[in-house]
Structure 1
């Protein structure tokens, strides 16, 4: 494909992904209230645990509407993840052979649940982060938070962890496309652990070691699972190549 054709294809995929997010976000209007109630629950826990005033406030006229709109968009991103993840794969597909195209279903079947699972894992540890960060306030002080700022912080945290859980699937996809080898993935395990711990430390901007560990353990486990799948795939491909070479009398040493 030419550069122009790639740009046209990219525009097509982005348009489909964007429309899927919008269509999934519209019904979320009726789910905003319970979602906001669950997100703001840690602030109420702060008031009880620390015996101080704590509340979420709207500091501008349009902030309440913006808050609802942002929640709808994020719900749309999560709910439509199978569609836009497929569009991501479909954009890569034209550069691959017909055999690799068959892995689109496997990529989608693995990446969408992992993204949603990562978001749920972040949702689980999020209250601990809120309570810890607000606990640094001075005595006799009040915790008065902007609703939009609080929502931005919480949603960015949840989406970042969800995206991090997809990374092992991308490694497997690159291995199936013969871009990287399973041994290469396995040899980089030290850098992978360093990268995962750094990522979780940045995603949990607090001295909350427990939350960082709770997020890092499944991500590291997924990395090694991806490496194992890639190694097994490489062995299967090597066996198939050897059988093909033996059948047609090809000397692999000269290849």
Structure 2
């Protein structure tokens, strides 16, 4: 007897061979690499690697003596550090393109209602990542270095190494970009029925403790940066709980009647 797909299953008959999935994955990875390379070439032309270093060094330079500069201890640091910053900046610029490639790869396996839900979540996640990085650059770094410089003795010249400085701020960029995804995670948990909204509300107190623990682990050992990460995480958790009321999956009326 020939198999006839259910009319309710819109994905029936769309399965592809495993090799076809590998080819599609390879193509999407190539598209991602090309997107990042285009961003790198554009940044190399304008504003250039040196200008990018000057931009990300602005928060700490504001709290250093006028003639003081960051130093390069390593022999290759003047070349490798700007290159590292340029590559990371290129990835951030190409982030929507990268996420689109991920979505394009998984979209054929999603139902139509899942596609309508997934794409806005991807775009919102990208926006929140940019907001988190901007929050670090415009607020957190300035307050953090102001707090740290107050503890520098008069006999000590605060001239940080550019490599260690870049490592610290890049780790902060990544930490805040991921932390600002809290509303997305909350909405996805509720939308796909993994955790109910009521349980997430009850988990609120535990999440506050968890947020401060995460902030203490991933940020430098200063109060400013830790509070700057933990407090937004708690606020974004509340935003996710509030938004989840509209994204929660509704039960069919027949199912509700049978449960009552």
Please give the range of the TM-score, normalised by the shorter of the 2 chains. Answer: 0.7 to 0.9
Q: Find the residue that maps to 2:258 and give its secondary structure.
A: coil
User: Hey, what does 1:45 align to over in structure 2?
Assistant: 62
User: Hey, what does 2:52 align to over in structure 1?
Assistant: 35
Pairing of 1:10-21 with structure 2 (within 5 A) = 13-21=28-36
How far did residue 37 of structure 1 move? 1.7
Pairing of 1:81-160 with structure 2 (within 5 A) = 81-90=95-104, 93=107, 96-123=110-137, 124-160=139-175
Identify which range, 133-142 or 222-231, moves more after superposition.
133-142
- CA contact 2:63–2:146 (8 Å) conserved in 1: yes
Distance 1:229 1:153 in 2: 33
Identify which range, 56-65 or 161-170, moves more after superposition.
56-65
What's the C-alpha RMSD, in Å, of the aligned pairs? 3.2
More helix by share: 1
**Structure 1 residue 63 corresponds to structure 2 residue 77:** yes
How far did residue 27 of structure 1 move? 1.2
Give the number of aligned pairs: 242
TM-score (norm. length: structure 2): 0.77
Flag structure 2 segments of 5+ consecutive residues without an equivalent.
Answer: 1-14
Distance 1:117 1:185 in 2: 24
- CA contact 1:122–1:162 (8 Å) conserved in 2: no
User: Hey, what does 1:192 align to over in structure 2?
Assistant: 207
Alignment deviations for residues 96-133 of structure 1 (CA, whole Å, 9 cap, x no partner): 43321211221123111111000011112112223333
Distance 1:12 1:252 in 2: 48
Q: Structure 1 residue aligned with 2:185, among 162, 170, 177?
A: 170
TM-score (norm. length: structure 1): 0.78
How far did residue 91 of structure 1 move? 5.5
